[in-house]
Amino acid sequence: MEQEQLIKVRRALHQIPELGFKEYETQKYLLDFIETLPQSSLTVETWKTGIFVHVKGSVGGKTIGYRADIDGLPLTEETGYQFRSVHEGLMHACGHDFHMTIALGALARLAESPVEDHIVFIFQPAEEGPGGAEPMLQSAQMEQFRPDVIFGLHVAPELPVGTVSSKPGLLFANTSELFIDFKGVGGHAAFPHLTHDMVVTASAFVSHLQQIVARRVDPLDSAVITVGKIEAGTVQNIIAQAARLEGTIRTLSPEAMEKVKGEIEKVARGFEIANDCGITIDYGSNYHQVYNDAKQVERFEKIVEDSPYSYQEAKMAMTGEDFGYMLKEIPGFMFWLGVDSEAGLHQASLKPEEDALVVGVDLVEKGLREL
Ligand SMILES: CC(=O)N[C@@H](CCC[C@H](N)C(=O)O)C(=O)O
């Protein structure tokens, strides 16, 4: 696939972002595209809204896997693109339109000229939540096509086009979603002493969460607690009887995650007493850290150095990725692909440079042929 077609595919996918496990149009687009490729070495299987594409190798000693995530985010796009999302309130703001296009580009090249090894492309739903990698790993299709080595990429807005980066060992954090519900006593805005105001309680709780990071986590370890959404109340002159916080916890070790959760629960019990309310906590979905296999990263670094592109050592990031579950069972790695966007990941104006598509395809193809 040439640059022009890669751009066409990326723009088509960009227009149809869908939430986790609802990627029906996306799956159809991917399947229709895959059908246009030479079929002699391909076996295609769907799993929920995801897809496995196996490319039979000419010898077939081992199987190399490449994973691309396919879901979008609940965000209203502000890119000004002519090809903006046609799904109101949803956007590919984490680059998964790039990830899918690059996978299709590499698949198109390999379907034309398979290699000695078997290859499996995994189009995985629900990376942003609630998590598709873990259940996909348990699927019959994964058992059928299970790779011996696996890798994936993520767009990096802060890196220039033509630069990729990775590192051996820990790349991304452990994550846990965080949903906290507060139930108190609402009432008239003028008589606060007769109520237990959940706007005040939930706001104080948000501030207290930051004290857990600052004062309960070893400063040489790291944690992030972000509350991304607050919901409370009905109108400006009624004291709210309920509130809900939605957020996420990030840590660099599974132990720190347990510590943070324990501390949140202690604070919640204290808040219940102090504020005469009920607090329930739900941790939603949890992702295992992304831990790169040192040997595979070293081989990839060499592949990049033998290409027109450049490699640099990555830093650890508090990003989460359920690809971590695949890497827990299968040796492999994830790398960042430079896409040079002023706006960052999860921003409504993220605009990755489309010149990076061919860089991604070249390096994924090389990885699949040479790892
Ligand atoms: C690459 C990336 O941005 N991944 C997401 C994963 C989110 C997992 C889950 N919904 C959570 O928020 O904990 C990220 O926000 O890092």
Q: How confident is the model at residue 203 (pLDDT cuts 50, 70, 90)?
A: very high
Q: Indicate which residue's Cα is closest to atom 3 of ligand 1.
A: 319
Model confidence over 192-202: pLDDT tens digits?
999 999 999 99
- DSSP character at residue 113: S
Burial class (CB in 10 A: 0-12, 13-18, 19+), 244: middle
Compute, in angstroms, the gap from residue 319 CA to the centroid of ligand 1: 6
What are the boundaries of each domain within the chain? Answer: 3-172+289-370, 174-286
One of 18, 23, 77, 128 is an active-site residue; which one? Answer: 128
- Residue 94 labelled as part of a binding site: yes
Q: Write down the pTM of the prediction.
A: 0.94
Model confidence over 209-246: pLDDT tens digits?
999 999 999 998 999 999 999 999 999 999 999 999 99
| Between 219 and 87, residue with greater pLDDT | 87
Please state, rounded to an integer, the average pLDDT across all residues of the chain.
Answer: 97
Q: Which CATH architecture has domain 3-172+289-370?
A: 3-Layer(aba) Sandwich (3.40)
Q: CATH classification of 174-286 is 3.30.70.360, yes or no?
A: yes
Give me the percent of the chain exceeding a pLDDT of 90.
98
Residue 178 has pLDDT above 90, yes or no: yes
Mean pLDDT of 314-329: 97
Q: Can you tell me which atom of ligand 1 is nearest the CA of 286? A: 13
Rounded CA gap, 127 and 135, in Å? 12
- Residue 99 labelled as part of a binding site: no
Residue of 175, 226, 246 with the most ligand 1 atoms within 8 Å of its CB, for mutation: 175
Model confidence over 113-150: pLDDT tens digits?
989 999 999 999 999 999 999 999 999 999 999 999 99
Mean pLDDT of 281-298: 97
Residue 357 has pLDDT above 90, yes or no: yes
Residue 1 has pLDDT above 90, yes or no: no
Q: How confident is the model at residue 259 (pLDDT cuts 50, 70, 90)?
A: very high
* Contact (CB, 8 A) for 351 and 84: no
Residue 69 among the catalytic residues: yes
134 close to ligand 1 (CB < 6 Angstrom) = no
Compute, in angstroms, the gap from residue 320 CA to the centroid of ligand 1: 5
Rounded CA gap, 337 and 360, in Å? 7
Mean pLDDT of 320-340: 98
* Contact (CB, 8 A) for 249 and 178: yes
- Residue 154 labelled as part of a binding site: yes
Q: Indicate which residue's Cα is closest to atom 4 of ligand 1.
A: 320
Give 39's contacts (C-beta < 8 A, 6+ positions apart): 111
Residue 358 has pLDDT above 90, yes or no: yes
Give me the percent of the chain exceeding a pLDDT of 70.
100
* SS3 assignment, position 81: coil
Compute, in angstroms, the gap from residue 348 CA to the centroid of ligand 1: 16
Rounded CA gap, 214 and 324, in Å? 27
345 close to ligand 1 (CB < 6 Angstrom) = yes
Compute, in angstroms, the gap from residue 43 CA to the centroid of ligand 1: 31
ipTM for the complex shown:
0.97
Residue 323 has pLDDT above 90, yes or no: yes
What number of other Cβ atoms are within 10 A of residue 59's Cβ?
10
- DSSP character at residue 162: T
Nearest to 233 by CA among 267, 194, 203, 208: 203
Rg (CA), the chain: 23
Model confidence over 5-40: pLDDT tens digits?
999 999 999 999 999 999 999 999 999 999 999 999
How far does the chain reach from its first CA to its final CA, in angstroms?
Answer: 22
Residue 61 has pLDDT above 90, yes or no: no
Rounded CA gap, 81 and 64, in Å? 36
Instruction: Give me the half-sphere count of Cα atoms (radius 13 Å) on the Cβ side of residue 219.
Output: 2
